[in-house]
Structure 1
Amino acid sequence: MTVRAGWLLPSGQTREDTRLVPLGTMAPDSTMTSRDGVIAGGNPLAATGVGTMQVQIGTGRAIVQGTTAQGAYPVAVTSPETLTLADGHAQFNRIDSVVLRVRDGLYDTSEQTTVTVEIVQGPETATPTAPTIPAGALRLWDITVPAGASAGTGGITWNSALADRRRYTAAYGGIIPRGWGLSFAGAYPGQYRDNGTGLDRWDGTTWQPLEPSVGWTAVTLASGFSNNGNAQGIVRYRRITIAGVPFLQLRGGVSWATSGSIPNSGNLLASVLPAGYRPAALTSLPIAAGGVDIKLDAQTSGQLRLISSSGVTTWAALSGVQYPLDA
């Protein structure tokens, strides 16, 4: 048997099953349910096209959540599984899903006690969508099956047909690895996840990033302003966290043509900073500009504004500027 589940087989869970499947308290979704998903490590449950209409799912481990009363099933695929897709529709494309599925006759109408890797066929329509997967199943991959695809017509172009739908889970208290979809809510304050560039912490309401994004993001300057003022480079920003407090950090410099006359009423940005990069309250900071100190207003709208009474020449420096984003 190459697809195994813990706490499912009617003859009892063998010692080998216990050693292979992931056991323990997993990341919760609620008080009595676990977050289902793939267990990270290597490239678990990877998909590879091995024939014109055949896909192979590699080894790996996962958690499949049933109903609340049913609980969660730890599963291991110990040898690659090869699946054959049905031929394509004569007119329409369709999207099939590869799932890891548990059937437990004590809780469903299957009258079976099995765990399988299988294909759920999607609807054949002019605008195909992935199928709704049955209860007790975990979606792993979506596969686009072109109209008319079959072994006789060349089948599926695998490098463009496969869409990774693996989401990941972890043991309780562990950091949930980045996988498909970041739109899920956390289960408890203090839970952590990998967002692809850093860590997020669930505060009970929203995910709060704890680490800066990799690199910097350039701003779009308003008309009349140019980058590299006083040879300080282009204006860029990033979000960082210091002692648990989110900050926006700036670097670079701006310049303009006419001494003493800051363009655009001092509003620097043609496109304001996105939500999540704006201060909770108006924040004013002194900066250097053309040999005199002026003020930079970081506004709650996401705009950055230069304010000077007199004496400014034709440049302003933003390198080293940082300010808190929380209230």
Structure 2
Amino acid sequence: MNLRSSWVAETGQTREDTRLNQIGATTPVNPVQIRSGILPGSYSGQFRLSGFWMSGSAAMSATIADGRAVIQGDISQGVYPVSLPTSQTVTFAAGNDQYARVDLVVLRVYDNLYDGLTRNEATIEVLQGKPDPTPQAPQIPARSLALYEVTVPAGASAGNGGIPWNTALKDLRTPVVSVGGILPVEGQVFPGAYPGQFQDSGGALQRWDGGAWVPYPSALGGIIPNSASTLTASYTGQYRDSAGGQLQRWNGSAWAPAVPGPYFTGSNDAGYTTSTTYTPTLLDKETTNPVTLTFTAPPSKAVLISFGSRSLSASADHYAYISVKVTQGSTVVWEPDDERSAVCASVHYTSVGTVQRLTNLTPGASYSITVMHRVVANTLNLKAWFDNVYLRVDPQN
């Protein structure tokens, strides 16, 4: 038997046995016990877990590659380190005439002190399953680490095609690392043992927060990278680099732009009004009537509102006003006002515009803003024309 163990045999443990099994791999599951598993690594560095890898070598035989592992006994029994310095071959019994079965390949430690079987050694064993229409693998014995399930078809034998190795194997191996090491996840995902423990899931680094494995960026308050932007948010205020390259913030129910805006809309279609009170719509205007947009209030509670147009009052004595109305739902935040307006008084088209600062907004709330127009009171029914109307909202930091 090539498999070597330490602190099992009553006599005969060699210095070589002891050296081979200085593993130090103790991924904890509680304050006293560790997880049974295999040390990760490969000769080329290309694979996460090569130890005890199994492949078919003959019709009814397979080769198990060299490797090192630890096997946890009951809570009072301690940990058994084992190593396989060279590969080993295992053989499977011929298949049942009628039904398939599932065999289990395990690393197993016999300790006479606890099981009374007069054996003190570590072995690689094939535990034969029962033939059945829906075969199941045997139960894993105490002080054992499952390596593979092997489906043995009905009638399989050395002279009848043997075991189809490409489809018969189910890999059950799991890795372990030393305390504080980053665990490469292979196979079943186990809960963490303490907050702050790390594992590499293959696509993302994860941290155990005491109840779940959380993507590493969210655990530290960093930005979830673009490559992992489909991950579910963990808390309000988490940031991610979206698939479209936009920095976003989780607001508790959805991903929203981290820095919203700027928001912009406009219309190059001219229209006029004869109204002496502010109106959102213009006559003789076919598109974008009224000019309006919706914006989300930033955490600063303040925005800059820019608006203007190319205007014509038709008289130097009569003023054309352009202002804005701001609402939150049915609540009017700003009524259009001459004090917050751009004004034109010219018989020639003149470009006018202004910038106003709106404060005391509710962060995250949605607001609507609409461009409003009017002409000064007159008895001539003069028209105030507005063209190239624009509206822009810039959140302030």
1:318 paired residue number? none
Is the 1:27–1:169 contact (alpha carbons within 8 Å) kept by the matching residues of 2?
Answer: yes
Counterpart Cα distance in 1 of 2:239 and 2:124? 46
Give the alignment's Cα RMSD to 1 decimal.
Answer: 3.1
Distance 1:31 1:152, change over 3 A: same
Query: Compared with structure 1, are the counterparts of its residues 63 and 309 closer, same or farther at alpha carbon in structure 2 (3 Å cutoff)?
Result: same
- CA distance in 2 between counterparts of 1:278 and 1:123 reads 52
Which amino acid in 2 is paired with 1:95? V
Where 1:208 maps in the other structure, the secondary structure is strand
- Alpha-carbon distance in 1 for matches of 2:296, 2:230: 17
The amino acid across from 1:56 in the alignment is T
CA contact (8 A) 2:225 2:240 kept: no
Q: Which residue of structure 2 aligns with residue 80 of structure 1?
A: 87
1:209 aligns with 2:215: yes
Residue 3 of structure 2 aligns with an amino acid whose one-letter code is V
How do 1:1-327 and structure 2 match up within 5 A? 1-11=1-11, 13-24=13-24, 26-42=26-42, 43-182=50-189, 184-211=190-217, 212=224, 215=227, 237-239=229-231, 246-252=238-244, 280=252, 285=257, 286-287=260-261, 291=265, 294-295=294-295, 309=368
Q: Distance in 1 between matches of 2:151 and 2:37?
A: 22
Shift of 1:246: 4.3
- Check 1:157–1:308 CA distance in 2 against 1; reply closer, same or farther (3 A cut): farther
Report if aligned partners of 1:240, 1:247 keep a CA contact under 8 Å in 2: no
Deviates more, 1:161-170 or 1:121-130: 121-130
Cα distance in 2 for partners of 1:295, 1:131 equals 63
CA–CA distance in 2 between the matches of 1:240 and 1:47? 36
User: Match for 2:27: what amino acid?
Assistant: A
CA–CA separation in structure 1 for the residues paired with 2:21 and 2:225: 35
**Secondary structure of the residue that 1:160 maps to in structure 2?**
helix
Provide the rounded CA distance (Å) in 2 between the counterparts of 1:213 and 1:181.
25
Aligned pair in 2 of structure 1 residues 53, 289: CA closer, same or farther (>3 Å)?
farther
Q: 1:101 offset after TM fit, Å? A: 0.4
Contact map agreement 1:26 1:35 (CA 8 A) in 2? yes
Superposed displacement of residue 80, structure 1: 1.2
The alpha carbon displacement at 1:146 in A equals 1.0
Check the 8 A contact 1:239/1:248 in 2, yes or no: no
Change (3 A) 1:296 1:70: farther
Equivalent residue of 1:45, what SS?
Answer: coil
Equivalent residue number for residue 301 of structure 1: none
Q: 1:82 to 1:283 in 2, by over 3 A?
A: closer
Deviation at 1:280, TM superposition (A): 3.6
Mark the structure with the bigger radius of gyration: 2
Gap runs ≥5 in structure 1: 217-236, 254-276, 298-306, 312-327
Which amino acid in structure 2 is aligned with residue 215 of structure 1?
Answer: S
Name the SS for the 2:19 alignment partner.
helix
How far apart in 2 are the matches of 1:125 and 1:310?
72
Please say if residues 238 and 250 of structure 2, whose CA atoms lie closer than 8 Å, have aligned partners that are also in contact: no
C-alpha distance in 2 between matches for 1:308 and 1:148:
74
Classify 1:25/1:147 alpha carbon distance in 2 versus 1 (closer, same or farther; 3 Å): closer
How far is the alpha carbon of 1:24 from its aligned partner? Answer: 3.0
Give the whole-Å Cα distance in 1 for the aligned partners of 2:67 and 2:226: 30
Change (3 A) 1:13 1:283: same
Deviation sequence 1:151-177 (CA, Å, 0-9, x none): 121101111111211100011111111
Shift of 1:8: 0.9
Aligned residues: 257
Are the equivalent residues in 2 in contact too, given 1:47–1:58 (CA < 8 A)?
yes
- Over the matched positions of the two proteins, sequence identity in percent amounts to 40
Cα offset, 1:44, TM superposition: 1.0
Q: CA deviation at 1:109?
A: 3.0
Question: Which AA in structure 1 matches 2:140?
Answer: I
SS in 2 for 1:173: coil
Q: Indicate if the aligned counterparts of 2:25 and 2:176 stay in contact, CA closer than 8 A.
A: no
The one-character-per-residue Cα deviations of 1:266-293 (angstroms, maximum 9, x if unpaired) are xxxxxxxxxxx97545675434677487
Q: Kindly tell me: are residues 246 and 174 of structure 1, through their superposed partners in 2, closer, same or farther at Cα, counting changes over 3 Å?
A: farther
Conservation of the 8 A alpha-carbon contact between 1:199 and 1:210: yes
